[in-house]
Structure 1
Amino acid sequence: MTAPQTTDLLLTGGRIRTFDDARPWAEAVAVTAGRISYVGPAAEAPAARETRHLDGALVTPGIIDSHNHLLLGFDPDAVSLEGAETLDEVRDRIRDLADRRPDLDWICAENAVYSVVTGRRPNARDLAGLTDRPVFVTTYDQHSVWLNDAALRVLGIADGGDIPWGRPERDAQGEPTGWVTDFYTSAMTTAGLAGLQRDIPMYSPERRYRKLLGSLALATASGITTVVEPQVPLAELGLFDRAREAGLLSSRVIAALFHPIDADAAFRRDLRDAVDGATTDDRLRFGPVKLYADDVIEPHTAWMLDDYADRPGHRGHPSAPVGELTRIVTELDRLGFQTHTHATGDGGIRLALDAIEAAAGVNGARDRRHGIVHVECLHPDDLARFASLGVTAAMQPRHCSPDLVSGTWMENVGEQRWDRAWRIRSLMESGAHVALSSDWQVGEMDPLVGLYSALTRAGLDGRDSWTPDERIGLDDALSGYTREGAWAWHAEDDLGVIRPGAAADLVAWSGDLYEHDGDPAALLDQHAALTIVGGDVVHDAASDAPAPAVYGGRAHCSAAAH
């Protein structure tokens, strides 16, 4: 392709990893009218109205984060419990917020770990004496909630009532423990979200919108140019429209619509109408549908093919009666939807694969690219099915870090099944498409943390590499965050690649990441220096505001960034 005489922007003096098989590496890339207009030697690059000299730094396609909960974000009126490994630390942080903020009707905390109390789940008694106000705590995976006695009374749970946004746990005497399971799946239903917004101030539309904007600011500062928000209730589509109309979608957004597992055909027609009637542009797209095959392993609610190691006779449960997921996926597939199905247990993963295979058999051959997200515990018999069925494995390298899964996850699954955990390398080698992601805010949004985790399978302190046979190299990891992410969302001709004619979604890193392939810890000292979306510079580390604040060792947007 002949380059124009003068382009808008030229990046030169670095190493360009294109992920274009026809030209894997280059020295310069030029942008004209939002698209890549030149890729090649620096000596032959065209003149440009603006030239950025990279001083040997690496340029890659913009990062595609294929599973990132923008709407969860970080709430500055709540307290983060990330890094709080003991009950005393949890209590100190909650007490501090309660003491500092007498104006808050509810004291909310986020991202508690399940193992904060040894040998059992946390309960309401563990929160006693901190405040006379209700306390609401989410776990780091957003699938469980922890309440104090005041919250149990305010919500009516203490009197035997139920709530629409979760399943209160009760002891043998029928008394509530303060623990609520099935939170996120229930809370994103129409009735669940309405009840949650009525009950818990943190979930008001205005605070959710503030989280969305803060998450987008962090995304572009991290080199992310396309974000897949995997679970948007129909009632919250307007938040994305609001951001689009205000010109605040600094990254491209693909919004997956949440399908409650018990929704009927009328709801699926509502989904189709919502997508077909939505106002979108190149920064906003609706359409994939989020489903659940099972829940999560930590509270023993994911569906396992065999008993949990520490709970004989118990295998969890699927999210719907066997056969129901197949019926739903088949109908959504017929309606032209791409599905994005949560599955963590080996039973849940098999259920999702079976549903996709059945849908293809009923509806005939076409380019579907359904996805299964998390794929935490994969039975060996199902490994090859991802490639044969054309199913994307949307996986999060950080999730398998031992500092997150030691204790509860490892004990629940049992050592005899650890070799099934997050089989990223095995799936890639099988020919499957593996799209990597952060699962913000379950994990850090920064893709450099994901790259480090993919290369090491270790905690951020560098110790205790776990299941090391599943480690991958830097080039494969970057491909998972770029080219594979583009393929997953039918965008490989436009995104995830640096070649003439493709969208100018680029990230220039602070250095050459490939210099650290053999020393992954050094990746954590790098950052996105320049993020470009559609030819627009949306982040420039040399001139932008200070980096996001860090809580408990993980990066979040500070209140100022909102």
Structure 2
Amino acid sequence: MSRILFSNGTIWTGTGTTTDALSVRNGRIEALGAAALARDHDERVDLGGGMLLPAFADGHCHPDHAGFEAMGPRVRGLGTVEEIVEEVRRHAAAHPGADWIVGGGYDATIVPDGLFDAHWLDEAVPDRPVALRAWDYHTLWCNSEAMRRAGLDASTPDTPRGRFARRPDGDLLGTMIEWDAVDAVLAAAPARTTGDLVTALAASTAAYVAAGVTWIQDAWVEHGTVEAYLEAARRGLLATRVNLAFRADPARWRAQLAEFATDRERVRALGHDRLTAHTVKFFLDGILENRTASLLAPYSDDPCTRGMPVWPFGDLLEALTAVDAMGLQAHLHAIGDAGIRTALDAIEHVTRVNGPRDRRPVIAHVQMLAEEDLPRFARLGVIANLQPLWARTDPPMTKLTFPRIGPERARRQYLIGSLLRAGVRVSFGSDWPVSDHRPLAGLPVAVTRENAEREPSGGWLPGERIGIEEALSAYTAGVAHQAFAEDERGALAPGKAADLVWLDRDVRRLDPHDIADRTAVLGTWTAGVRTFPPAHRSGV
């Protein structure tokens, strides 16, 4: 028997109550309050006046991409083209044996319209291919050698799922937009090795438990990545629980059905308590910043386009119905109002064809929502997975999004408060590495709708602000529901798994803007095992 007592702090249960003590026995919550204090214990954690609550979870992220970004070149957060080019030069010099330089995370807002020139990278690395993903992961910037190796030139045509930025004379500029264009470059690069993938997953899941997160939804898993997950689990390198969402490719989804079944069975056969594979990811559109999100009406700054749908509608219905018949959960990326409507229409079709079951489909991002579609979420049992950090007037919003959609549609973005009031299940995520993986960074924006400069005063779309406990619930119980795990996690009650996070202060009592900078994660437990930092014993 092993019993841990947590006391001397505020314990937020996630059920509308607080208590002052909690005991854990053999990985599960045993008792709360006086009943916990009355039990003998083997270990005591003195909360020191801090806050204990259900561990956070992330309902939508990309841990392998985050891990690879950390390996370099480290371009995320750099503010000028010159700084990025210099970092690429430094990284290339430090890795003379690398055939390709592949990285990610550059800020697309630092040049007009997000269009970057291959010649800028040629100055740093003229003789080896360089390929950098933008922070949105829907765009890629590469040098001339990368385009040469990929066999791309002025004669390369755009496709329905990819666009090549061009110079006035028709030659390729070096910015690739969306799937077919991005993949045309990356297909020529060497594939990441399983060893590199394992290293990336170990680093990213360790970063998550340091942020108080114990469950994540990897929302973009390719067939070749599954072996790395299995190996990381076998070697004890997954610091968090991870659910895999296999990406459905509109060009080959029929062949993928057998892969999905095989990969799901491989994960199930491993029987590891931190690895599951229950989900399939569908990208339905792109992003507003690239004018590739699918809209009901033309873009305000380009009346010739309504975006770039990824799937032919008939194929989407057929694929989604087949995946649902396999008992897999649908997780759909939808940004624009037409993309979201398409997702809802497809889910409604599947429900009608396959009949009722507890399927819990997820629409991720839900950026620009048509008012008449809002009630359909609750009616269809759809979970809205949102990234609260995006609900603010930051440079991507003011420089790219607002001009693309105009003021009326801008007011229909990230309607978190409206969704909750309509009875919709809301879960939060980060889309890391697109934005910060720390829930403590997302909480302030959900509550204030203000940017780092506390603007606009009172919040952008103030009616969509939510309370701090609602935001905490979206990061805990909301994601647990998305994971079909509400009986196990997301709240503190006897019998539930002891997935816990210990903060040095009660975030409910802070100015929301101070949460990210003034709050520290002091401990994270997964099923009663301390995963951050290394376990230590206090007085017993």
TM-score normalised to the size of structure 1? 0.88
Which residue of structure 2 aligns with residue 419 of structure 1?
411
Secondary structure of the structure 1 residue equivalent to 2:532: strand
Is 2:5 aligned against 1:10? yes
1:454-509 CA-partner distances (Å, limit 9, x unpaired): 12223334344433332211100100000011111111000111101001100011
Deviation of 1:181 (Å): 1.8
Structure 1 stretch displaced more, 126-135 or 358-367: 126-135
Structure 1 stretch displaced more, 445-454 or 128-137: 128-137
On the 8 A contact 1:114/1:298 being kept in 2, the answer is no
Which residue of structure 2 aligns with residue 180 of structure 1?
176
Query: In structure 2, which of residues 319, 322, 340 is the aligned counterpart of residue 328 of structure 1?
Result: 319
Deviation of 1:270 (Å): 2.8
Which residue of structure 2 aligns with residue 55 of structure 1?
48
On the 8 A contact 1:147/1:178 being kept in 2, the answer is yes
Which residue of structure 2 aligns with residue 20 of structure 1?
15
On the 8 A contact 1:143/1:184 being kept in 2, the answer is no
**Distance in 2 between the 1:184 and 1:510 partners?**
47
- The structure-2 alpha-carbon separation of the partners of 1:42 and 1:462, relative to structure 1 and needing over 3 Å to count, comes to farther
Deviation of 1:100 (Å): 4.7
Is 2:257 aligned against 1:268? yes
**Distance in 1 between the 2:365 and 2:180 partners?**
15
Deviation of 1:101 (Å): 4.5
Deviation of 1:171 (Å): 4.9
Which residue of structure 2 aligns with residue 312 of structure 1?
303
**Distance in 1 between the 2:181 and 2:367 partners?**
18
Coordinate RMSD, CA, aligned = 2.6
Structure 1 stretch displaced more, 216-225 or 231-240: 231-240
Which residue of structure 1 aligns with residue 474 of structure 2?
480
1:304-346 CA-partner distances (Å, limit 9, x unpaired): 1111111112111211123322222122222211100000011
Which residue of structure 2 aligns with residue 362 of structure 1?
353
On the 8 A contact 1:392/1:433 being kept in 2, the answer is yes
1:107-154 CA-partner distances (Å, limit 9, x unpaired): 344212222212462222343422323321110011110011222222
Is 2:144 aligned against 1:149? yes
Query: In structure 2, which of residues 198, 206, 210 is the aligned counterpart of residue 221 of structure 1?
Result: 210
**Distance in 2 between the 1:248 and 1:431 partners?**
38
- The structure-2 alpha-carbon separation of the partners of 1:17 and 1:120, relative to structure 1 and needing over 3 Å to count, comes to closer
- The structure-2 alpha-carbon separation of the partners of 1:311 and 1:200, relative to structure 1 and needing over 3 Å to count, comes to farther
Deviation of 1:55 (Å): 1.7
Matches within 5 A, 1:35-54: 35-41=28-34, 44-54=37-47
Secondary structure of the structure 2 residue equivalent to 1:402: coil
Secondary structure of the structure 1 residue equivalent to 2:112: coil
Is 2:482 aligned against 1:491? no
Structure 1 stretch displaced more, 342-351 or 152-161: 152-161
The one-letter amino acid paired with 1:441 is P
- The structure-2 alpha-carbon separation of the partners of 1:77 and 1:252, relative to structure 1 and needing over 3 Å to count, comes to closer
On the 8 A contact 2:445/2:451 being kept in 1, the answer is yes
**Distance in 2 between the 1:54 and 1:184 partners?**
52
The one-letter amino acid paired with 1:368 is R
Deviation of 1:179 (Å): 1.3
Secondary structure of the structure 1 residue equivalent to 2:77: coil
Which residue of structure 2 aligns with residue 67 of structure 1?
60
- The structure-2 alpha-carbon separation of the partners of 1:185 and 1:462, relative to structure 1 and needing over 3 Å to count, comes to farther
Is 2:453 aligned against 1:433? no
Which residue of structure 2 aligns with residue 410 of structure 1?
402
Query: In structure 2, which of residues 204, 214, 222 is the aligned counterpart of residue 233 of structure 1?
Result: 222
**Distance in 2 between the 1:541 and 1:399 partners?**
33
Deviation of 1:217 (Å): 0.7
Which residue of structure 2 aligns with residue 444 of structure 1?
436
Query: In structure 2, which of residues 492, 503, 507 is the aligned counterpart of residue 509 of structure 1?
Result: 503
**Distance in 2 between the 1:85 and 1:200 partners?**
29
- Size of the aligned set, in residue pairs, is 529
Matches within 5 A, 1:104-183: 104-119=98-113, 121-132=115-126, 133-158=128-153, 160=155, 168-171=164-167, 173-183=169-179
Structure 1 stretch displaced more, 84-93 or 148-157: 84-93
On the 8 A contact 1:7/1:46 being kept in 2, the answer is no
Which residue of structure 1 aligns with residue 247 of structure 2?
258
Secondary structure of the structure 1 residue equivalent to 2:64: coil
**Distance in 1 between the 2:168 and 2:180 partners?**
25
Which residue of structure 2 aligns with residue 87 of structure 1?
81
Deviation of 1:162 (Å): 8.5
Secondary structure of the structure 2 residue equivalent to 1:342: strand
> Which runs of 5 or more residues in structure 2 are unaligned?
none
1:68-106 CA-partner distances (Å, limit 9, x unpaired): 211112434422333233333333333343455444443
Is 2:251 aligned against 1:292? no
**Distance in 2 between the 1:7 and 1:253 partners?**
26
Deviation of 1:519 (Å): 3.7
Deviation of 1:417 (Å): 0.9
Is 2:462 aligned against 1:468? yes
On the 8 A contact 1:166/1:186 being kept in 2, the answer is yes
On the 8 A contact 2:245/2:278 being kept in 1, the answer is yes
**Distance in 2 between the 1:275 and 1:512 partners?**
40
1:421-453 CA-partner distances (Å, limit 9, x unpaired): 111111111110110011110011111001122
1:22-53 CA-partner distances (Å, limit 9, x unpaired): xx221111111111111123784412100011
**Distance in 2 between the 1:244 and 1:120 partners?**
39
Is 2:528 aligned against 1:535? yes
**Distance in 2 between the 1:186 and 1:435 partners?**
30
Secondary structure of the structure 2 residue equivalent to 1:405: helix
- The structure-2 alpha-carbon separation of the partners of 1:53 and 1:292, relative to structure 1 and needing over 3 Å to count, comes to same
The one-letter amino acid paired with 2:229 is F
- The structure-2 alpha-carbon separation of the partners of 1:541 and 1:141, relative to structure 1 and needing over 3 Å to count, comes to farther
Deviation of 1:515 (Å): 1.3
**Distance in 2 between the 1:301 and 1:433 partners?**
27
The one-letter amino acid paired with 2:523 is L
Deviation of 1:397 (Å): 0.6
TM-score normalised to the size of structure 2? 0.91
On the 8 A contact 2:197/2:225 being kept in 1, the answer is no
The one-letter amino acid paired with 1:313 is C
- Kindly, what percent of the aligned residue pairs are identical? 32
Secondary structure of the structure 2 residue equivalent to 1:136: strand
